[in-house]
Chain A
Amino acid sequence: MTDRFRSFVRFCGAAELTSIGILVLAFGIPLLSSSPFLVSLVTQILIAIPAAFSVYVMLRMDLMTFAVPAFMAMGAYSAAIVGLRAGITDTIVLTALSFAVPALVALPLGALVLRLRGVYFVLVTFLLSQITQLLLFETPKLTGGSNGLAGMPATTLFGVALEDNRAVLFLAIALALLAAAITMVLTRYYRQHFAAIKENQILAESLGLVVWHYKMLGFAVAAGLAGIAGFSLVNMLLTAHPSSFSAMSSVDYIAYTIVGGAGSMFGPIVGSALLVTANNMFSNRGEYSPGFFGLLIIIVVLAMKDGIVGTAIKLAQRYRGRSRRIVLTPTQIPLQPAAAAEQTPVADQTVER
């Protein structure tokens, strides 16, 4: 293994570990500050992060999903219905439920929509979000219809009620951390498989990869991550309402991921933090925020395709590379006899570099 390969591996791990580390550090915020503005802002950011991870996981397979609000709604309503109707408030149970319900629903849906790619997948997942919202409005007995489900009891952890804003933030951090851990394990463990699907699906299949399995797995986990975001949201609002899950809001989560950078897990975190903060600053002029997002996506797509994190890494590499630029020896054009090639061990190449 050469240095370059090793540093590549190290770098990949680094992005994941930075993400986890930053989320762990966020636990300091509810301990150190009680500013309601800060606590509320950070909570919103941490709700956005699992939703952005959902987009990130699907982008690993070159699929742009607009179904995040649909699965968020499933997670949110599962927690709200169980909390209100069955009186279950245990955070661990609700978390498991908010992950499992959307993930299970995603399996049959995936069998239908994962045949599609590119713009067709985009369209169908967008419709999925619209249909879900319509269903929420049209089934008042179960979901409260246009009134939503209000008055959910506060969630509890080991019997302790998580009532004040800081406790809500504490749970939002824990849920974001869980989502980050799930995302890391999935995308690192199946890194080769997802990359192969993204880079050349036909070749991957021709070599024997059961592409369909990995797409299903990715879709189900992405749905579960969105469900966690949904639970985190109702835990803050103590209300589940269809307006929180409009199909248009899927654009926000995509914006978080792409503006932050879809190349590593750190991108969605940076994107969520920046854009949710920006959105809050625009909040007295809410009607401009979609326009602002659209503009940002255009700028990022045109000027920095790898998002903020990807561009920063590239700049850093270029800066570092200037001091010790790799000079590749010109390739030998005349065909070398096989015997001569045998005497050139691969190690020599790395020494040259």
Chain B
Amino acid sequence: MATASTSVTAGKAQHEGELHVDAIGKQFGGLKVFDQVSFKLLPGDILGVVGPNGAGKTTLINIISGLLFPTHGRITLGGHDITRTVFHGRSRMGVIRSFQQTSTFRPATVRENIARAIRFSHGSEMPPRGMDALMKRFELSDRLDEQSDKLPYGLQKMLGLVLAYVTSPKVLLLDEPAAGLEIRERGRVDDFVHHVREELGCGMLIVEHDMDLIRRLCPQIMVLDSGRILAEGPPADVLARPEVIAAYMGAAEEVAEQC
């Protein structure tokens, strides 16, 4: 569920996977790239974030994951303030992100990649529940001993998602999971999202340009434009609004067509 301008009620018992983003903003010198962005992400929620290039979608993921600190505002996870928690610290608390580009340990095998993800996040060697099924669905099970950067592009991206999965996240931030994938491969992102919801039940935030995918997966979306929330609600309503279509400019026809 995503609602604008939610204020965090201090002291109120929250689920440990509940992410509250409260009026965050980011300024680089005099340049405001981000202003007054608030929303809630509860376990099981799938929130789509769309917007034209430069709207601040990746910046939002960078701020929530801790790669950047906001200039003002507050982020809490399960009631704990994590606004100033560093990147790896947030990862250890369960706020996990994926990357827009392929991101693996390139010269290492698929097996080694997964072993490292499990070890760095849990300090153990035990693969988490549901990993094998995911690996089979992505056809990575047969390629455990292949070097990760020799995999086809699509599988490298899927491996990136598996790495995020095996850390058992409480909040999962997906940065354009379908970017660069062929049309017939995009169903794998759907598979992944469904699998995560069933097995982990964590909240997910999906930044994506593929509107069909957003419609399929996200009951709620948020449109960002120039670092502000332009509109939010169910995708069918939001994407039909004239201001959203206007913000998309070049993509306006596509959006209008699909509605």
- Complex: A204 Cα to B163 Cα, angstroms: 10
Minimum CB–CB distance from B227 to chain A (whole Å) comes to 23
Chain B nearest CB: distance from A197 CB in Å? Answer: 10
Give the secondary structure class of A's interface.
Answer: helix
Number of A-B contacts (CB under 8 A): 84
Determine the distance from Cα of A338 to Cα of B116 in the docked complex, in whole angstroms. 26
Residues of A within 8 A of B141 (CB): 341, 346
Write out the residue numbers on chain B whose beta carbons fall within 8 Å of the beta carbon of A341: 136, 139, 141-142
Give CA–CA (A158, B17) in the complex, Å. Answer: 61
CB distance from B51 to the nearest CB of A (A): 23
A: contact size bracket:
20 to 34
We find that the number of chain B residues with CB closer than 8 angstroms to chain A is: 36
Q: A206-B91, A336-B139 are in contact. Are A5 and B109 (CB under 8 A)?
A: yes
Which of the listed residues B91, B120, B167 has the most CB atoms from chain A within 10 Å of its own CB? Answer: B120
A-B pairs, top 5 by smallest CB distance, nearest first, are A209-B120, A208-B91, A208-B121, A199-B105, A207-B120
Whether A207 pairs with B104 at a CB distance below 8 angstroms is: no
CB distance from A305 to the nearest CB of B (A): 13
A/B interface sample: 8 pairs, CB < 8 A: A195-B108, A199-B106, A202-B103, A203-B105, A206-B96, A207-B120, A208-B88, A209-B120
| Pick from B92, B104, B108, B137: contact of A208, CB under 8 Å | B92
Most chain B CB neighbours (cut-off 10 Å) among A206, A208, A344? A206
Q: Assess whether B157 is interfacial by the CB under 8 Å rule.
A: no
Identify the B interface with A (CB < 8 A).
65, 67, 87-88, 91-92, 96-97, 99, 103-109, 111-112, 115-117, 119-121, 133, 136-137, 139, 141-142, 144-145, 163-164, 167, 184
CA distance A209 to B115 in the complex (A): 13
Within 197-224 of A, Cβ neighbours of B (below 8 Å) are at 199-200, 202-212
Measured CB to CB, the closest approach of chain B to A336, in angstroms, equals: 6
Interchain CA distance A349-B143 in the complex, whole Å: 9
Which residues of A approach B to under 8 Å, CB–CB?
2, 4-5, 192-193, 195-196, 199-200, 202-212, 335-336, 338, 341-342, 344, 346, 349
Are the CB atoms of A207 and B117 closer together than 8 Å? yes
- Whether A203 contacts B88 in the complex (CB less than 8 A), given A4-B145, A196-B120, A342-B136, comes out as no
